[in-house]
Structure formats: structure tokens, C-alpha cells
Structure 1
Amino acid sequence: MTAPSTRAGTPSEASLRGGLGQVLLATLASTIGFWAWMSISPLQQTYATEMGLDEGQISLMLATPVLVGALGRIVIGAMTDRFGGRIMFTAVLLLSAPAVLLVALAGSIQSFPLLIISGFYLGVAGTIFAVGVPFSGAWFPPERRGFATGVFGMGMIGTAVSALATPGLADSIGYLPTHFVIAGALVVMAALVWFLMRESPVWEANNERLVPKVIGALKLPVTWEMAFLYGIVFGGFVAFSNFLPKYLTTIYPDEVDALGAGARTALFAAAAVVARPIGGVLADRLGPKIVSLVSLGGIVSLAYIVGQQPPEGIVTGVTFILMAAAMGLGMGAVFAWIGPSTPKEKVGAVSGVVAAAGGLGGYFPPLVMGATYSPETNSYSLGLWLLVIVGAFALVVAGMLRDVGRKS
């Protein structure tokens, strides 16, 4: 079936009417998915105390859902090209609910091996991002896809929801009921998606088999370029969102408790969420390259400041918020870069690989931070220096890439 389009071959405004509402529905679904995906991190102190976990075990516990959520995005992104957003959003949300309940069981019986297994399964929730990028982009013309993917990217606010709501609910209604609430939210959201979501009229199913599709995406230079950049900006966001409560309560134990760390993590996530659509819009207007350079420059300089371990208070609060904002700008810019650089039938597969790289970028830092922590100086400075070095290299790489999509 031929999609309605203008004479120039681009989607007409009439054919895409209602797109913002569909993108907002996808954003809400992503919010619930991110809440579930990050539900272990806010309760890490509880797990560590009750199970007697060391630094390495805590880092593994935090990193496992991120790893699966990252690698799974490759498959889910390619499947979205074939089955569409409505089916894949529903499937990911429904499959994630039992994972949350398994986490609840692991915590209830204080089994660390089961917690790792359930965390592995919980990674399914993190794949939801790879569904929304091609779904949202299809609802807007090419020159506005930075805006569309930026708005969808605001679903990362689920990280903030998790940081605030999960420990608060656990404190007020209990550990098990909290996980019942999260699982229930996933099921309710799946029902809303099934009955209210519809595909863009310009979307066409790509029935190419999964493996050739992923291989085809990996043959495109833009896939590797954007994967590297997204591994820094989104990976940094995931890593800090996941590890920040642990970082704050370790470096500033007298000033920050678990609830305070959760509140600061929520502010960190909120800053990135607000900045992401701004990054997409700026990329549509100015070109994604300049926005990416500003983002990476900010990350490098602010990571250096964090590594100096300034006194807890205004300086640390502002530094982390600005770092999150820099990461959010970069996330919006990278996905605005993908659309104009990728054949439309490969956007889902490329988005899945790039999103996976972002998740992998969030997998390793918690492990590195745990491995490089110095109890003698109570410092994670070596891990932060590695972020500075990698970010500086990414800044050079971004500066060498060709810009696309700039409006005249």
C-alpha cells in the first residue's frame, strides 16, 4: 500500500495528523518501561544490607539489567521494523511484568543468585526504547524527526520516577506491594497501548529476516559512528542514573541518605529528560554535529569537576544537573543525526543497534567504578578520569564527522 505523500515524496501534513498524541502515548509507555528497568537501583542499599553484598556484587547487580536491556535493543529494534510499534510496545510491557515479580521474590527470600537472574530478565524492560524511536520518527517528516525522537526520549523520566517512587513506596506500603504496583502499571500501560496506539500511515512493514537486517545495519558507517557517540551520552546517563545513589551515599555518607540520594538522582534524570527534546529541536535547526560537540564538551568538563569531589551542596548539585543536561542534549542530537543519514527501511535496525550501544555504554561504568574504588581515599576518581578521556576522544570523533539535516 502506498503511503500518502507530497509530490516531493515526503509525508503530507494531513497524513500525519495526530502524530504528537501517538508520540506522547509512546513516551508514557517508555516511562513505565524505564521505571521497571531501573527498579533495582533505588533499593540497592536494602539489598546490600540484607544480603551482605560487597562492592563487586553491588556493581554486578546494578549492571545486569542494563546489559540485557542494551543487547536486546538490537533484536527489538529490528522486530519493530517488521511488526510495528503497537505490537512491540505491548509485548515488551507484558513480558516485563513477570520480571518485576521475580525481582520481588528474589528480594523477599534474600537470594543474590536469583536477584541476578531476575535482573537479567528485567533487562527486557530496557529494550522499550528501541521500539519508540522508529515508531515516533515515522509520525513526523524528516525535518522534524529530531523533535519527535526528542519528545519520545522524555520517557527517560521513568528513571526519575523509579528513583523517587520506588523507595518511597517501599517505605510506605512495603517491599512486595511496591513491586506489585510496578507490575500492575506495566500491564495497564500495555492495555492502553493495545487499544489506543496506531501506526503512522507512512509506516510500512519490513519483512526482511532479522539477521540479514541487523547485518545490513552494521554495514552502514552511520551505525558505528552514532553508536559510539550514543554510548557516551546515553551510556553516561544510564550509568549515573543507576550508580548515583551508590556514589552519593559512599562519597558523602554524612550528608546524603538513601532518600536524599534518590531525590538527587531524580533531579539528574529530570534535567536530561528536559534537555533531550531541546537537543533534538536544536539539531533540526542548527545541525546535530554542533549540538553533539557542545554536549560532549560539557560532559568532559563536568566529569572533571565531579572527579575533584567538591564539598556536598550547591556545587555538586549544579554540576550533576548540568552534566545530565549535557547528556540530554547529546541524546537528542544523535537520534536527529540518524534519520537523515539512514535509509527509512533500516531506521529501526540502526536505531536498535545504536540504542544497544547506549545501553552497553551504561553497563560498563558501574563495573569500572566498583573496580576502581579506593577505600583508602574514599574516591572514584580513576573511573571518572576514564570518562574524561573517553569523552575527549568522542569530541574529536564528532568533530570529524559530516553534519546532516541542517535547516537553511
Structure 2
Amino acid sequence: MTDTSFWKSGHRPTLIMAFLYFDVAFMVWNLLGPLAPIFSKALGLSPAEKGFVVAVPTLAGAVLRLVNGFLADRIGQKTTGIISQTIVILGLLTIWHFGVETMNGLIALGMVLGFAGAAFAVALPMAGRWYPPEHQGKAMGIAGMGNSGTVFAALFAPLLAKTFGWTNVLALATIPAALVLAAFVIFAKDSPNQPETKPLGAYVAGYFKMLAQADAWWFILFYGVTFGGFVGLSSSMPIFYTTELGLSPILAGYATAACVFAGSMVRPLGGALADRIGGIKTLSLVYAGAAVLLGGIATAPVSLPVILPLFLLVMATLGVGNGAVFQLVPQRFRHEIGVMTGLVGFGGGVGGFYLASSLGLAKQYTGSQSMGFLVFAALALIALTGLTSVKRRWRTTWGAAVQGVRI
């Protein structure tokens, strides 16, 4: 993954900045999950309301990724990233100043955090456009390892909330966001391999053109399961650990951080593995493994020594899948990578919103989150079935046209 040919084939400062930008954006995007056990108690939220609130940033990020995908192609990834990060910083400071005392206030906060989630459509194409097809999996995997920002949110948000109050965490989060933004402005650089600038109408038509292709919908589904599972579980685990296992918010944050770390660190390995054995084979193993592990979580005894290893394994599995999906996307849609990153990212966000909110609904109406896990396990099996149905066509059509790359 760190061989000389890889590092010389692209622009290292931009790859590093794409990772850091994505990392701090993910940290901000996932603040509500670790803070949920604290603010839900203060505001008296029901299980369904807790699930919905932590899912709002995910859905908002999904929608805004479509916007950022368009902007990244039209005005460049760097300018788009600067605009989005500025909105996040100013939005957090504004909400911190006025305070959050109602459910509507939490929803407004979640929508602001969605702008951070839209960083996905900036960081990945910024990194990917600098690298040739044979190194796409590695480059996208390294940039996508910014998922690890969720670890910092899980580790530090509950501690800071206990010390300073949970609303003050919003202001504190703007400090690393501003520092990374300054470095991003200085060091990041758009690749010269940019798509031709088109009118707004042409970009909108581009989304519909992509949606007219069956392959685009398959990628949306595939990432909806891998990334949707990753981010949905990241948001929901603090609630699970506090309500089902009785952990304190701080201990729940530590347990969540360990699981998220596992899923984040293996993302570049997922891309590298896909480069080596093919993205299709890698994803097939991912979906089969995720279905088994999610089913295990739903049916296992509610005990930390049992549940924690299962969460660790399923997050690592989904992390590998995240890297594998984005080994395939640039091969199939190299000239539309900005639009496709937005669309696929949208699918991932919708998957995360569904999982987080469904776990809350399952808890409220059945007294357990098991049904939510089982339904998502079924979605993983659907993704596996779909992948099996298209793999022969992919390998004999566009896959055969990509020289030196295994799909």
C-alpha cells in the first residue's frame, strides 16, 4: 500500500489533506451519537426520538452529497470543500450561541452537521482523480479512512460534555475544524484531470443520466449496506451500550470508539484487497459476513463480552466493504466520478439513516433493537444476491476494458 510507484503516481499532499479533511468532517458529523445518552436524558426523548435525532445528520449528509457532487465537478473539489467546512463552523457556533433546548433545535443541529457529512463527495474525488486506475483502491481507501473521525467523536465528546456541558462541545469541535480548513486551503490541490465544466442544467441531467443506468442503482444499494451499516451503527452504538448494557456515556464512547476504529482502519485494506483479488469477490465476502454477524448481534445474549466482539467484527467487515465499493466505482464511472460519488454517497447516507432510525423504532415498539438488526442483515443478503446476478456482466463488459485492474 505504501510502495514507491503508488506514492509517485499521484499528489501526496492532496491525498493527506483529503484524509484529514474527511477525518475532521466525520468527527463533527457524528457528534450526536456519542452525545445522545446525555441530551436525550436532559430533554426526555423517547427511544424512537433518540433514533431519529442521531439519524438526521446522516440523511442531511446524504442529500447534501448530491449537491457537493455537482459542485465538485463544476467549481472544483477544493473550493467546494472550503465552502462546506465554513458553513459547518459558522453553523455550529451559531447553534452553540443560541443553545439547544427542544427537539426542533436538535433537528436543526443535525441538518448543520449534515454539511460535514457531505465532505465525502469532496475528499474521495479529490484523491481519486490524482491516481491511475491500478491505484484507485489504495488512494480512495486512504482518503476514506477519514471515517476514523468518528473515533474521536466517540472518545472525546462524552468526556468534554461531562466537563463543560454537552452544548459547549459544539463550540469546541470548531477548533480542529478550523485548523484543518486552514491546512486544506494551503496544501490541497485539485487534479488537472477534471471533467469539462458544464451548465447547471447539464449537471442535473447528468444525475438523471446516471440514474437511468442500472449499474448506478446497484452501487447505491451496495454502499447503502456497507457505509450505511457503518455510519448507522456508529451513531446507534452509544445508545445501545447505555440502554441495553447499562454503560455510562463515557464507557459507551470508549466501546463505540474501539468498534469504529476497527471499521475505519481496514477501509484502505478493503481497497487494497479489492485491487488484489477483485472488488466483486471482496464485496461478496463482505455481505455474507455482515449478514451472519448482524444476525448474531440480534440473537446473542445481551452481554458486553459477547456483543462487543460481534460489533468489532461487523464494523471491520463493513469497513472492508466501503473500500471495495470505491475500488469499483472509478473503474465503471471514471468520467462521472463526481456525480457518482454524490449518488453513491447519498445511498450510503440513506442506509445509515434507515438503520439508526429503525433501531430506535424497534426498541420503542418491541422493547428490543433485534428486529432492526435482523432487517439490515436481510438487506446485506439482498446486496449479495444482486452482486451475484451482475458480476458476470460486469466482468465481461466494462471490467474487461480496464487494463491491469481486477474487478
Question: In structure 1, how many angstroms separate the alpha carbons of the residues matched to 2:133 and 2:117?
Answer: 26
The alignment-based identity, stated in percent, is 28
Equivalent residues in 2 for 1:199-210, closer than 5 Å: 199-209=190-200, 210=203
Contact kept, 8 Å, 2:100 with 2:106, in 1: the verdict is no
Corresponding residue for residue 335 of structure 2: 345
Residue aligned with 1:199, SS:
coil
TM-aligned CA deviation for residue 386 of structure 1: 0.6
What amino acid sits opposite 1:361 in the alignment?
A: G
Equivalent residues in 2 for 1:5-44, closer than 5 Å: 19-44=11-36
TM-aligned CA deviation for residue 102 of structure 1: 4.2
Q: Which runs of 5+ in 2 are unaligned?
A: none
Corresponding residue for residue 354 of structure 2: 364
Corresponding residue for residue 323 of structure 1: 314
TM-aligned CA deviation for residue 177 of structure 1: 3.9
Residue aligned with 2:266, SS:
helix
1:397 to 353, 377, 386: 386
TM-aligned CA deviation for residue 132 of structure 1: 1.3
Question: In structure 2, how many angstroms separate the alpha carbons of the residues matched to 1:55 and 1:105?
Answer: 28
Residue aligned with 1:110, SS:
coil
Contact kept, 8 Å, 1:15 with 1:201, in 2: the verdict is no
Equivalent residues in 2 for 1:298-317, closer than 5 Å: 298-317=289-308
TM-aligned CA deviation for residue 203 of structure 1: 3.0
Query: Residue deviations 1:42-62, cap 9 Å, x none?
Result: 111221111111122212211
| TM-score normalised by structure 1 residue count | 0.90
Contact kept, 8 Å, 1:239 with 1:363, in 2: the verdict is yes
Residue aligned with 1:373, SS:
helix
Corresponding residue for residue 370 of structure 2: 381
Question: In structure 2, how many angstroms separate the alpha carbons of the residues matched to 1:386 and 1:368?
Answer: 9
Query: Residue deviations 1:136-172, cap 9 Å, x none?
Result: 1111101111111100110011111111111122223
Give the aligned CA root-mean-square deviation in angstroms.
2.1
Q: Which runs of 5+ in 1 are unaligned?
A: 1-12
Residue aligned with 1:175, SS:
coil
What amino acid sits opposite 1:110 in the alignment?
A: E
With over 3 angstroms needed to count, the CA separation of the structure-2 counterparts of 1:102 and 1:60, relative to structure 1, is: farther
Higher helix share: 2
Corresponding residue for residue 197 of structure 1: 188
Query: Residue deviations 1:90-148, cap 9 Å, x none?
Result: 11111111222344356x45222122122122211100001112111111101111111
Contact kept, 8 Å, 1:84 with 1:205, in 2: the verdict is no
Contact kept, 8 Å, 2:245 with 2:304, in 1: the verdict is no
1:167 to 126, 141, 158: 158
| TM-score normalised by structure 2 residue count | 0.91
Question: In structure 2, how many angstroms separate the alpha carbons of the residues matched to 1:274 and 1:185?
Answer: 21
1:239 to 229, 232, 244: 232
Question: In structure 2, how many angstroms separate the alpha carbons of the residues matched to 1:75 and 1:374?
Answer: 34
Corresponding residue for residue 40 of structure 2: 48
Contact kept, 8 Å, 2:355 with 2:372, in 1: the verdict is yes
Query: Residue deviations 1:343-386, cap 9 Å, x none?
Result: x331100111001100000011222112222677x421111111
